[in-house]
Amino acid sequence: MAELLRKDVKLEDTWDLTTIFKTDEDFWAEFKNAEENLKNISNYQNKLANSAKDLLEVLKASEECDLRLSTLYVYAHLKNDQDTTEAKYKEMYSKTYDLYVKNMTEWAFLTPELMEVDEKILDSYLNELDDLKIYKFEIEKINKSRPHVLDKESEKLISMAGSALSASSDIFSALNNTDVDFGEVEDKDGNKLPLNHGTYGQYMESKDRILRENSFRAIYKFYAAHNNTLAATLSGKLKATKYYADTHKYSSTRNSALSNNHIPEEVYDNLVDTVNKNLHVLHKFFRLQKKVLGEEQFRLYDRGVSMIDGEPAKFSWEEARDLVLEAVKPMGETYYNDMKKAFSERWIDVRPNKGKRSGAYSSGGYATNPFILMNYNETLDNVFTLIHELGHSMHSYYTRKNQPQTYGSYSIFVAEVASTCNEALLSNYLYKKFESEGNRDAMLQLLNQDLIGYVGTLYRQVMFAEFEHLIHKTIQEGGVLTAEFLNEKYFDLVKKYHGDALEYDEEIKYEWSRVPHFYYIYYVYQYATGFSAAQALSSLILEDSKNAQIYIDEFLAKGNSNYPIEVLKNAGVDMSKSYPIERAIAEFDKKIDAFEKLYFNK
């Protein structure tokens, strides 16, 4: 079937970007105004310390510039993503991105100048003008970082070293993306198939065990051949981040990374410790998977195979819309009606078309609707993708509706909570629906999908987090990350997390070397904390409708007006404690039992 051209997509299946700019001409007119306005930014330098009035003027001017540029950027990137073959939108996006970067560069003086103002003077300014009081929390966060900010000359020198210090990441990226060559692999019929990062995931889900084994061995043959090089690149990256942490007077790399989001380090330790105490539940899942798949020797390349046979269920766009709306009814009438706006006001670009960016996302700015890009293909997975992105959009919608621009976004630490909470509500609704219909196959398909989610988002990410912290500590304590050390430690963790249900192939010890997230520095743990928080919050919502309003008021509507750990705590989930993680694992355990009972009692 030929790809649909953008001009042939039905209007109701496209997002309405005229709510941002009526026409492209209006966009370009605003672009020129914003471009001209950048020339005035230098007038605000060396001014904010003069008086409370001048401080307010500078902060307001900065916000106005950010608002204008973010609105332009949203329109340009959405226009480009809807059809990347359109040259005029490529140009629009490129020019807007350059202007956006220039705006950030021009305003780069703001935080350093704030740092130079005595803390007591800043506090007196905040108390002097009512209009400045709104910035109190923002200034509080800046003041907290003062011990880790160096003088201008030192910061400049460190900044100048940035390119050299990023070399390890650049080398890894080049080897892992540009220079990678996994060759071809054979399936059970002797057909030669191309192996790359994209097809590897597909092959590992295939029912063809020969294809899975050949793919597994081929991909790790490549990483084994570059074992020492990749150990050196990872070690170089970790040394660079330690350098940044040391020079900015942090106690460790982890302390530096978590401080950026104001996350206490005990949150990290609590996550890893709690999951380690509950590895028996993961081992139980793998024993179930082995039993269902019927493999006498259950191996690492068997883990990705679905436990369900048969054709997956299909859902039209209209059915998907109705399902996700029904699923969020426990959130209350206001939330339900607000989410309906995504469909009635055309926040969503639904169908794939020639040149459209792949995948799905939620995007937008403080002054725009939260738009969603989809490539809807009628699968159950896509229904979950829809409600996931709607979760992001509703988080953004309530934040922008209830917070001033200063706090009109939210921390990466909580970014996946609303989306995953929505998924949990959908899972609960669909299971009850399928159960009432006596649709055993659909119930099993749903349970299988949920179980895979727990394994991949909670347990696997915590395994990564445990490995990441181990290697950072090794560098911190003066140790050396040799290929042999990395291979041994990673292999030990794989065996600890997977238990006795599997037979272990040594190739898995190279897996650490193909995980790009280890170059992001203390990032992956947030997938697991967000997932656990979302499961706990969805349970609270389903238990009592009053909790849904608390969730909206204390979480969705709070944005960056408080520390992320406190925002979650006020909504009912304390991620410094073990109970949210234990609650998520208990739900995982229940779903394992439900699947086993349903599958073997036909």
User: Hey, what amino acid is at 405?
Assistant: Q
Q: What gap in Å lies between CA 300 and CA 293, rounded to an integer?
A: 13
Residue 415's closest CA among 529, 245, 257? 529
Spatial neighbors of 89 by CB under 8 A, at least 6 apart, are 76, 79, 80, 82, 83
CA angle 255, 259, 265 (to 5 degrees): 50
Q: What gap in Å lies between CA 598 and CA 512, rounded to an integer?
A: 36
Spatial neighbors of 174 by CB under 8 A, at least 6 apart, are none
- What secondary structure does DSSP assign to 401-463, as a single string? HHS-GGG-S--GGGTTHHHHHHHHHHHHHHHHHHHHHT-HHHHHHHHHHHHHHIIIIIIHHHH
Per the annotation, the verdict on 12 as an active-site residue is no
Spatial neighbors of 480 by CB under 8 A, at least 6 apart, are 235, 474
Enter the DSSP assignment of 85.
T
Q: Compute and round to an integer the Cα radius of gyration of the chain.
A: 26
CB atoms within 10 A of CB 267: 19
Q: For 317, left (φ over 0), alpha (ψ -120 to 50), or beta?
A: alpha
User: Would you state the structure tokens that stand for residue 387, as one six-digit string?
Assistant: 């409600």
Q: What is the dihedral of CA 588, 589, 594, 600, to 10 degrees?
A: 120
Please tell me the chain's helix, strand, coil percentages from 3-state DSSP, rounded to the nearest 5.
70, 5, 25
Q: Choose, from 106, 113, 389, 587, the residue flagged as catalytic.
A: 389
Q: What is the largest CA-CA distance in the chain?
A: 78
Q: Are 552 and 335 in contact (CB under 8 A)?
A: yes
Angle between helices 52-82 and 24-37 (to 10 degrees): 150
| Sequence-ordered alpha helix ranges (H) in 132-248 | 136-144, 152-160, 162-165, 167-173, 197-204, 209-225, 227-247
Q: Are 468 and 518 in contact (CB under 8 A)?
A: yes
Residue 523 has phi, psi (to 5 degrees) of: -110, -45
- What secondary structure does DSSP assign to 87-148, as a single string? HHHHHHHHHHHHHHHHHHHHTTTHHHHHHHS-HHHHHHHHHH-GGGGGGHHHHHHHHHTGGG
Residues designated catalytic: 389
